Chain A
Amino acid sequence: GAVVSQHPSRVICKSGTSVKIECRSLDFQATTMFWYRQFPKQSLMLMATSNEGSKATYEQGVEKDKFLINHASLTLSTLTVTSAHPEDSSFYICSAPTTSGIPNEQFFGPGTRLTVL
């Protein structure tokens, strides 16, 4: 099946710093990738849709200037949390749908746990 990798898997940073998270589709091309955030004991919350070669589409309430998304190639999307604060501590997961098989079946990366001190 399709594989999506995510890096880093875990990051701890000081308040005010920026953190970049990479999401890669390893064996397929993804013109669209999705970024989710998940707080403890809560469900997935879609943050934004990353589109290759164009601007990302952000969900209501998500600050686009704080969560910068770049989808520079068909296999890589990055999420940068700028000036991170403790309330940004969360589990960030990316996913990508494939163009074959079940329509819009999402393949998820392993997630990145961000802790902001």
Chain B
Amino acid sequence: GQNIDQPTEMTATEGAIVQINCTYQTSGFNGLFWYQQHAGEAPTFLSYNVLDGLEEKGRFSSFLSRSKGYSYLLLKELQMKDSASYLCAFLDSNYQLIWGAGTKLIIKP
């Protein structure tokens, strides 16, 4: 079967670093996405990993290990505006997106 799991909620301090983990199980895999969603708004694209390794994009980085079925999103120099939900989703063998439940990130001053 297929499943995807990420923590429900995390709290971090402004200026710090936080890592949001995502684990998945699937027989077919065509890449993993991270999206950011602020309350009451639609998700916005953050990153896409299809090969193993780290993809860095400014303050945000995303890592993928296909053999471990594991990804993380790393947020550096946290700002209050980073308070949002972070959704991971993978593309299965049919190129259908399978969504995680999202991780609510709370940033404290």
Q: State the A residues within 8 Å of B (CB).
A: 34, 41-44, 46, 91, 93, 95, 102-111, 113
Contacts and interface: CB of A to CB of B under 8 A. Distances in A.
Given A43-B100, A44-B99, A103 B42 contact: no
* Interface SS of A by simple majority: loop
Interface of B: 30-31, 33, 35, 40-45, 48, 85, 87, 91, 95, 97, 99-102, 104
Contacts, number: 49
B31 to A, nearest CB: 7
Given A102-B48, A108-B43, 12 more contacts: A34-B97, A44-B87, A44-B102, A93-B42, A93-B43, A95-B42, A103-B31, A105-B48, A106-B97, A108-B44, A110-B41, A111-B40
B97 A104 contact: yes
B40 A91 contact: yes
